[in-house]
Every structure is written in C-alpha cells, then in structure tokens.
A = this chain, B = another copy of it.
Amino acid sequence: MTRNLDAYRALEARFHRLGAIGGVVSVLNWDWSTVMPAGGAAARAEQLAQLKLLHHEMLTEAAVEDQLAAAESAETGLDPWQRANLAEMRRASIHATALEPRLVEALSRAASGTEGLWREARPAADFARVLPALAEMLALVREAAAAKAEKLGVLPYEALLDEFEPDGRVAEIDRVFAELDGFLPDLRETVLARQARLPAARLPQGPFPPAAQKALGERLMTAVGFDFTHGRLDESLHPFSGGVPDDVRITTRYDATDFTRSLMGVLHETGHALYERGLPPAWRYQPVGRARGMTIHESQSLLMEMQACRSPGFLGFLAPQLIAAFGADPAFAPENLARLYGRVQPGFIRVDADEVCYPSHVILRYRLERAMIEDQLRPADLPGAWNDGMAALLGIRPPSDREGCLQDIHWFDGAWGYFPTYTLGAIAAAQLFEAACRARPEIPDAIARGDFAPLLGWLRANVHALGSSLSTDGILRHATGRPLDPTIFKAHLERRYLG
C-alpha cells in the first residue's frame, strides 16, 4: 500500500513538471500569436517541437506504466480527487504511448508549418497554397487517430475528440445534432419571417477608435470579474484565450467601423478566462486541476456572451457605457441594442454567426472533418464540399474560400475533432445559466446593474472549482441536475427570438 501510494506521489511529481511545461507551451503560443515577429517562426516552431517531444518522452518512460499500474491497484487508498487525477494521468499516458516520437515531432512541425501557410493563404483566398501542407497534415492526423483509437477502443474520430472533449462519443453528438436539426431550420425560418416584419436595427455610426474599444472592453471585463493583475487583453488575428490560470491572456481584433463584434468577442473570451482563473488552486499543475474539456470551456464563454451579455438586462447596463466610450448615438438605446445583438442572419463566417445559425456552421465542420478523418473526403475536395454544405444548411454559398473553408484556424494548426464542442457548449451554457438563475434568482437583476458577483460565485462553486474531478456529464448533472439537454437551449432560443 505504501509502495502504491509512493507510486502515485511519483506520478504527481512527474505531472507537476508536465503541467508547468504545458503552461510554458501556452505562453509561447500566446507570444507567437500576438507579438512575435514573422522571422521568429522557425525558432519558435523548434522550441515547441522540442517541448512536445520532451512532454511525450516524460509520459512514455517505462517507469510511468509501472507507477500507473501500482497506483491503480485497489489498495492505494486514494481520495476521490486523487482517483480522478490518476484517471486523467492514465488518459494522458494512453494518448502519449499510442504515438511514436517520430509522429509527435512530425505533427508538431506540420502544425507550425501549415498554420504559417494558412496565415498567407487566408487573406489571399488561395486554398491551393495551403492544400499540400493540409493534405500532409491530415495523413499524420489520421495515422495518430488510428493508433490512439486502437488503444482507447473507440473510433478514430473519437480518439481525436478525446483530446478536446474527454470521453466524447459520436453517437451522442449525432443524437444531439439530430435533435437540433429537428427544430433549428423551422425555428430559423420563423425568426427570419418575424424579423422581416419588425423595424430593422439601427446601425451605430462610427468610427470607433480601437483605443476606445479597448478601454471599454477592459471596463466590461473588470465588471464581469476579470482581474487584470492575473491577466491581459491583447490583439491577434484570430481571437483566443490562452496563458495559465494565474496569468490568463485573452485577445481580440478591432474593426474601427464596427465595435459590436469585438465587444462580444471580448466578453466571450472573458468567459473562458474566468473558467481558467477559477480552477482549483490546490491542484494547479495536476491533470485533475485542469479544465474539464472544451464543451465545458465553451459553455463558460457562451454563457457569458450569449446568455448573460446579450440579455436585455445587460444591454441596458451597456447602453450608457457605449455613450461614455463613443459619444451619444440613437443606436445605443437598449431596445435597439437588443435588435442589433438579436439579429438572426445566415452568414459565411462562424465567429460572426448568431446563436440560431451557429450550430449549422458547426454541424458542417463536424461532418466534413469526420469525412476527412474517415477517408470519405479528400482535402482537395474540401472547398466544394464546404460550399455545397453551406448551401444546403444555410442556403448561402461563399464567394471565395476566404469566407469558406479557409476561415478557421483549427484544421490548419492541428485541432481536428474540436468543432463539435462549440455547439455542445452552447447547449450546456443555456442549461447552466438556467440552473444558476434557478438557484440564485437575483442573478438577472444583478447583471442588469453590471454586478456579476452572484453569477460568477455560482459558476466558481458549481463548475470552475470542480476542475476535471468529474466528467463533462458529471459536472452538468452536479450543477443542473441532469445530463446535456438540448430542450433548454431550444426554449432559450424561442424565448429570445420568438418571445
């Protein structure tokens, strides 16, 4: 028993270092996306490749398997957090031992190289420029998926999904997405018809200087609960949340003619950041102390952006802030802000999509990436399949690949199997926000005063502080009393867009 406990302690020491190195990788990625000069890319790719190889070696040393086996024996006497920690260690070990170092290194270099090409190809709408690199990366990703699938006993796509959404299964995703497919097209048409009868939203008249947008964003982040002694707001081409829990870095991009997207983008990333910041400090560098997965992560960003900050109460709080930031504009009236931020309109760009259309963007990507992983779609055929899919799902066809299959970074930097979590997260967000308001009925009024403490307090206690001690499903059951349930999301959409 002591020997087994010693084995567990040795694993904790090893994973402590792995956790710190994971934080280093996150800082290097932030730097790359925000401040690094272009000529630093090769050196940065080398640094990241070496750290990933090292990470892989630390997880695949023979001692790890022995220690895991010893610690997993029934008599170790671990407490529930330690047991959950051990289970995550096992998961990490399976992911690592499934891949040879050669493949780890090739994947790291392919991600760095393909992302670099994508950064050139996207503005030029030149899919051909990045196609060879993408095809090469897909071959590596499929090789990795097959190897992990065998070890995990799941489908290759699920093996990729497992990195972002542990224990995610395509049967469950298919069930949830089918449910959405059952009501979303009709809902969308009804909303569009209804909106056509209502007065159009008045557009705010710019310009909106980026410096003023940034200052407003920082004020709102502070109101929501972001602590700038433990984080930053910066600019990047593709907004993201990164860094480490004690130093959370979020980014946005500014359009001087339209502040509305960046503003909600900042609140979205703030939701991610607050989740990271609220993870259990006692387990800071251990696997169980990390975010549960991207479904819960996206639920936190979307709860903040879609549930809390597009609510009429928050828009009423926002209106005078907009006047203070940019000067008076009739478009800043709360009821107009509600029309602006409640506008449903099929469009090409996922990150700009409204919450009624957004799931269609995700369903498209989910189908396409599964088809590519299952060798049913060749990368060369991606642009056509994408455009056909957009036509079928939203009735519009992108004018170029810039508004089509080149718009997102994910496939180009190696994040295959990530997309479904956006919509699973949107559904979880509706469910969690409803539960929060049920448990603490003062939340909506507080938000209308710009006071997020009641909401954040509930999220900290019922979601953030759990880390990875429960599964995604376990967190939802713990916090809301039931598993993931699209009917609450449906009710939310009907209330907001048809109410």
Q: Let me know if A320 is at the binding interface, CB within 8 A.
A: no
Contact of A247 among B23, B27, B37 (CB under 8 A): B37
Q: Let me know if A20 is at the binding interface, CB within 8 A.
A: yes
Q: Let me know if A376 is at the binding interface, CB within 8 A.
A: no
Nearest residue, chain B, Cβ from A232? B37
Contact of A230 among B31, B40, B53 (CB under 8 A): B40
Q: Let me know if A200 is at the binding interface, CB within 8 A.
A: no
A35 to B235, CA, bound (A): 13
A230 to B42, CA, bound (A): 11
A5-47 CB mask vs B (1 if < 8 Å, else 0) is: 0000000000011001101100110010001111110111011
Chain B's nearest CB lies how many Å from the CB of A340?
Answer: 33
Chain B's nearest CB lies how many Å from the CB of A383?
Answer: 31
A284-314 CB mask vs B (1 if < 8 Å, else 0) is: 1100000000000000000000000000000
The answer to whether A42 and B232 touch across the interface, beta carbons within 8 angstroms, is no
Q: Let me know if A231 is at the binding interface, CB within 8 A.
A: yes
The answer to whether A37 and B230 touch across the interface, beta carbons within 8 angstroms, is yes
Q: Let me know if A73 is at the binding interface, CB within 8 A.
A: no
**Copies of this chain in its oligomeric complex:** 2
A44 to B37, CA, bound (A): 23
The answer to whether B27 and A285 touch across the interface, beta carbons within 8 angstroms, is no
Nearest residue, chain B, Cβ from A38? B229
Q: How large is the interface on A (under 10, 10 to 19, 20 to 34, 35 or more residues)?
A: 35 or more
The answer to whether A47 and B28 touch across the interface, beta carbons within 8 angstroms, is no
The answer to whether A39 and B246 touch across the interface, beta carbons within 8 angstroms, is yes
Nearest residue, chain B, Cβ from A30? B31
Q: Let me know if A244 is at the binding interface, CB within 8 A.
A: yes
Nearest residue, chain B, Cβ from A22? B47
Chain B's nearest CB lies how many Å from the CB of A255?
Answer: 23
A50 to B55, CA, bound (A): 13
Hey, which chain B residues are within 8 Å of A392, CB to CB? none
Hey, which chain B residues are within 8 Å of A28, CB to CB? 24, 27
Hey, which chain B residues are within 8 Å of A228, CB to CB? 37
Hey, which chain B residues are within 8 Å of A284, CB to CB? 43
Nearest residue, chain B, Cβ from A23? B47
Chain B's nearest CB lies how many Å from the CB of A177?
Answer: 38
The answer to whether A17 and B50 touch across the interface, beta carbons within 8 angstroms, is yes
The answer to whether A247 and B54 touch across the interface, beta carbons within 8 angstroms, is no
Chain B's nearest CB lies how many Å from the CB of A451?
Answer: 23
The answer to whether B24 and A47 touch across the interface, beta carbons within 8 angstroms, is yes
Chain B's nearest CB lies how many Å from the CB of A166?
Answer: 24
Nearest residue, chain B, Cβ from A24? B47
Hey, which chain B residues are within 8 Å of A17, CB to CB? 50, 53-54
Chain B's nearest CB lies how many Å from the CB of A225?
Answer: 14
Contact of A39 among B23, B24, B230 (CB under 8 A): B230
Q: Let me know if A143 is at the binding interface, CB within 8 A.
A: no
Q: Let me know if A106 is at the binding interface, CB within 8 A.
A: no
A413-445 CB mask vs B (1 if < 8 Å, else 0) is: 000000000000000000000000000000000
Report if A39-B232 is in contact (Cβ < 8 Å); known contacts: A27-B47, A47-B20.
Answer: no
A53 to B227, CA, bound (A): 31
Q: Let me know if A51 is at the binding interface, CB within 8 A.
A: yes
Chain B's nearest CB lies how many Å from the CB of A248?
Answer: 9
The answer to whether A20 and B227 touch across the interface, beta carbons within 8 angstroms, is no
A175 to B49, CA, bound (A): 47
A51 to B16, CA, bound (A): 12
Please list 28 pairs of residues, one from A and one from B, whose beta carbons are closer than 8 Å in the complex, sorted by A's number.
A17-B53, A17-B54, A20-B46, A20-B47, A20-B50, A21-B51, A23-B46, A23-B47, A24-B28, A24-B47, A24-B51, A27-B31, A27-B47, A35-B35, A36-B247, A37-B228, A37-B230, A37-B247, A38-B229, A39-B231, A39-B247, A40-B244, A40-B246, A42-B246, A43-B245, A43-B284, A44-B247, A46-B285
Binding site for B on A (CB under 8 A): 16-17, 20-21, 23-24, 27-28, 31, 35-40, 42-44, 46-47, 49-51, 53-54, 227-232, 243-247, 284-285
Task: List 4 tightest A-B contacts by C-beta distance, closest first.
Answer: A40-B247, A39-B230, A20-B50, A39-B229
Sample of 14 further A-B pairs with CB below 8 A, known A17-B50, A20-B46, A27-B27: A17-B54, A20-B47, A20-B51, A21-B47, A23-B46, A23-B47, A24-B28, A27-B28, A27-B31, A37-B232, A39-B231, A43-B247, A44-B247, A46-B285
